[in-house]
């Protein structure tokens, strides 16, 4: 959005925003994809992990801006700024924070993503950070006290853990299968090899 974003970044941000939208379309992939347990959080996790914290957050923001502008891009075909007055508003805004946290942890220290760090990122950023905004807002909107709201949001936990596992697997596989998709250089941990390796 600022002048520092080159054409490739612009395209990648748009593509990930579109990816999150597509994961909410009916008939995309079975098993997931109902409201409010939605595959879209998987898209958020992938955006943070692949694009990194800032571009990942930007792509989530773009999606939410389009939702606010009235496109029916949330699971179940919901859209309009009313979404941001509803009980799930905090979760939706939490996606932005989630993408930032995931990106920061996955790429911490400019090192190549490894399984444990990626899994940690998905739990901390993709679950805890999102709930940290989602639950208070839900409680505020529905006037159900915080504790009870937190208790009722436990229904999301099994699905979110499955999505975190899938995201971890996909991201760590991408490191092996298509490293240039990350579009960054990684520091190589072993000092005797050259300091900069892999991916462009």
Partner 1 sequence: MSIVRCAGLRVRLGAREVLGEVSLDLSARTIALVGDNGSGKSTLARVIAGLLRRTGGDLRVMGCDPDCDPAALRARVALVLSNPDAQIMMPTVAEDVALSLRSARLPRAERDARVDAALARFGLDGLGDRPAHDLSGGQKQLLALCGAFVRGPRLVIADEPTALLDGRNARRVADHLLADTGHALVLVTHDLALARRCESAVLMADGRVAASGASSAVVDAYESALTC
Partner 2 sequence: MLSLFVPAMGWMHRMPAGPKLMMLAAAAVAVASSPSTWVTVMVLVLPVALYAGAGMGIRRGLRVLAGAVWGLRWVVAITVTGQLIFLGLEPAVANTCRVVAALLIAGLVPVSTSVSALLDALERGLSPLSRFGVDPGRAALLLTLTITTIPVLARLAAEVRDAQRARGLRPSLGRGALPLLVSALRHADDLGEGLAARGIR
Ligand X SMILES: Nc1ncnc2c1ncn2[C@@H]1O[C@H](COP(=O)(O)OP(=O)(O)OP(=O)(O)O)[C@@H](O)[C@H]1O
Ligand Y SMILES: O=C(O)CCCC[C@@H]1SC[C@@H]2NC(=O)N[C@@H]21
Beta carbon nearer to ligand Y, 53 or 134 = 134
With CB under 8 A as the rule, give the number of residues binding partner 1.
10
Question: 144, 161, 185, 199: which one contacts partner 2 (CB under 8 A)?
Answer: 144
Beta carbon nearer to ligand X, 140 or 188 = 188
Name the binder of 70 from ligand Y, ligand X, partner 2, none, CB < 5-8 A by kind: partner 2
> How many Å apart are CA 58 and CA 17, to the nearest integer?
9
For 146, how many CA atoms within 13 A lie in the half-sphere containing its CB? 5
For 80, how many CA atoms within 13 A lie in the half-sphere containing its CB? 6
DSSP letter for each residue of 120-148? HHHHIIIIIIHHHHHHHHHHHHHT--HHH
What 3-state DSSP class applies to 78? Answer: strand
168 binds partner 2 (CB under 8 A): no
Binding mask 145-174 for partner 1 (x = CB under 8 A): ----------------------------x-
Q: Which residues bind ligand Y (CB under 6 A)?
A: 36-38, 41, 74-75, 83, 88, 91-92, 130, 134, 156, 159-160
176 binds partner 1 (CB under 8 A): yes
Q: Which residues bind ligand X (CB under 6 A)?
A: 180, 200
Question: 54, 132, 181, 188: which one contacts partner 2 (CB under 8 A)?
Answer: 181
* Number of other residues whose CB lies within 10 A of the CB of residue 35: 14
Name the binder of 200 from ligand Y, ligand X, partner 2, none, CB < 5-8 A by kind: ligand X
187, 110 Cβ separation under 8 angstroms: yes
> How many Å apart are CA 126 and CA 132, to the nearest integer?
11
With CB under 8 A as the rule, give the number of residues binding partner 2.
73
> How many Å apart are CA 77 and CA 25, to the nearest integer?
7
Which residues would be at the binding site for partner 1 (CB under 8 A)?
173, 176-180, 197-200
């Amino acid at each position: 959005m600022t002048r520092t974003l080159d054409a490739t970044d612009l395209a990648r941000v748009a593509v990930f925003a579109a990816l999150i939208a597509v994961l909410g379309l009916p008939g995309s992939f079975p098993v997931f994809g109902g409201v409010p347990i939605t595959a879209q959080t998987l898209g958020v996790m992938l955006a943070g992990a692949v694009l990194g914290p800032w571009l990942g957050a930007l792509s989530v923001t773009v999606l939410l801006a389009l939702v606010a502008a009235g496109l029916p891009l949330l699971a179940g075909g919901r859209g309009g700024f009313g979404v941001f007055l509803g009980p799930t508003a905090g979760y939706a805004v939490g996606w932005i924070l989630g993408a930032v946290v995931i990106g920061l942890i996955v790429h911490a220290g400019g090192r190549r993503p490894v399984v444990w760090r990626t899994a940690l990122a998905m739990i901390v950023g993709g679950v805890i950070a999102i709930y940290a905004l989602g639950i208070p807002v839900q409680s505020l909107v529905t006037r159900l006290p915080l504790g009870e709201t937190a208790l009722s949001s436990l229904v999301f936990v099994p699905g979110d853990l499955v999505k975190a596992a899938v995201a971890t697997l996909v991201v760590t596989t991408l490191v092996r299968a298509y490293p240039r998709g990350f579009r960054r250089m990684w520091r190589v941990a072993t000092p005797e090899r050259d300091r900069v390796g892999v991916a462009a």
